[in-house]
Amino acid sequence: MKLVKDGAPVADEWTTVADDADLPEGGAVIVSLARFKAERDKLVGRNAPIGLRLKSNEPPSAVAEDLERFSVVALEFPIFRDGRAYSHASQLRGRFAFQGEIRAVGDVLWDQIPNMLRCGFDAFEVPDDFPLEAFAEAKTVFTNIYQPDTSGRPTVFERRHG
């Protein structure tokens, strides 16, 4: 797997830690919601960045009061037809004004990238053979938008009626 930001592979400085694994002494870690809830005080007390991995049935509202503690929220796509993570990303950017990284993980397909960008995803964990051209192409797919998105671009209605 590789991590892609701004259309290019980047080094992943985060370690995803399984629920039954020991936390490393230092360094940035991504933990599950279950682990965060079970070990909240211990995780918050660490002197290292914390990331959170949410399954598609775990909305960000479950940790709304702690969102400012996370630098990364990884949203899972368990299968291509499960789109709940789109809504979760949009809620993170819109309702909760989350400024950290929103990472798409799991079954991420190239044709989903344009809508993921519109919903606020800015990092993608994809297979090593994933075509990087999909990221450049994704930015050109929607030249006009009818619904507001996280980019702040004006909708067609706003463009017509100023």
Task: Confirm if 119 and 91 have CB atoms less than 8 A apart.
Answer: no
Amino acid letter, residue 136: A
Amino acid letter, residue 119: C
Q: Look at the domain 2-161 and name its fold.
A: TIM Barrel (3.20.20)
pLDDT per residue over 36-66, tens digit each?
Answer: 999 999 999 999 999 999 999 999 999 999 9
Tokens (6 digits) for 149 = 């998105």
Strand, helix or coil for residue 64: helix
Q: pTM value?
A: 0.91
pLDDT per residue over 73-108, tens digit each?
Answer: 999 999 989 999 999 999 999 999 999 999 999 999
Strand, helix or coil for residue 77: strand
Q: How many CB atoms lie within 10 A of CB 93?
A: 19
Task: Confirm if 120 and 92 have CB atoms less than 8 A apart.
Answer: yes
